[in-house]
Amino acid sequence: MDKKEIKEYNDSIRKMLEHEDMIRSQRTNWFLVIQGLLINAILIVLEVEDVKFRAIAVSLLLIIGTLVSLSFLYAAYLSSKASSEGKKIWIYILNKNGGNIDDFPPICLLTRYKFQNGKYIKDPKDKLLPCFFLSFFFAILEGVLFLGTLYLIIAEELPHINF
């Protein structure tokens, strides 16, 4: 493979990674919008007088929120895996054709530090990216709130809020 073909592969893989990052960013934004709407819905439901309806509605909204968080976490995992595979293919093509990663600018500013000896090294700090951290945080939060709501339902003390 000549340098022109390697550059074409490089450009193609960069476009794929950029596209995957944009999709991940859009998913994160929609996730935050959905979580905001769910929180707003829970606050509205807490104003309702009927305790039974309030308990069922809050429980359902928390279950929906937890499922949304878990599905987003899975989507973020798949997106991260796709990006990782794209980077591995890029390194494979470079190694196979005698190319060097230093011949090309980094895909992102952090990328340079993730390649060692021609291999892609996964950074443990990737778990702190918003797409992972936020979905994990909301899944745990909504799960705990759901369990707390179940406890209050059993104790028949679900609060009524007047704004």
- Burial category of 127 from C-beta neighbours within 10 Å (exposed 0-12, middle 13-18, buried 19 and up): exposed
Q: What is the pLDDT of residue 55?
A: 85
163 residues of the chain, pLDDT tens digit each: 777 887 788 788 888 888 888 898 899 899 999 999 999 999 899 888 887 888 889 889 999 999 999 999 999 889 888 888 887 887 788 778 877 666 666 666 554 445 555 555 666 556 666 777 888 888 899 889 888 888 877 777 666 666 5
- Answer for the pair 51, 158: CB distance below 8 angstroms, yes or no: yes
Q: What is the pLDDT of residue 64?
A: 93
Tokens representing residue 37 in the block: 């709407």
- Answer for the pair 49, 143: CB distance below 8 angstroms, yes or no: no
Q: Is the pTM here over 0.85, yes or no? A: no
Task: Give CA–CA dist 131/79, Å, rounded.
Answer: 10
DSSP 3-state of 72:
helix
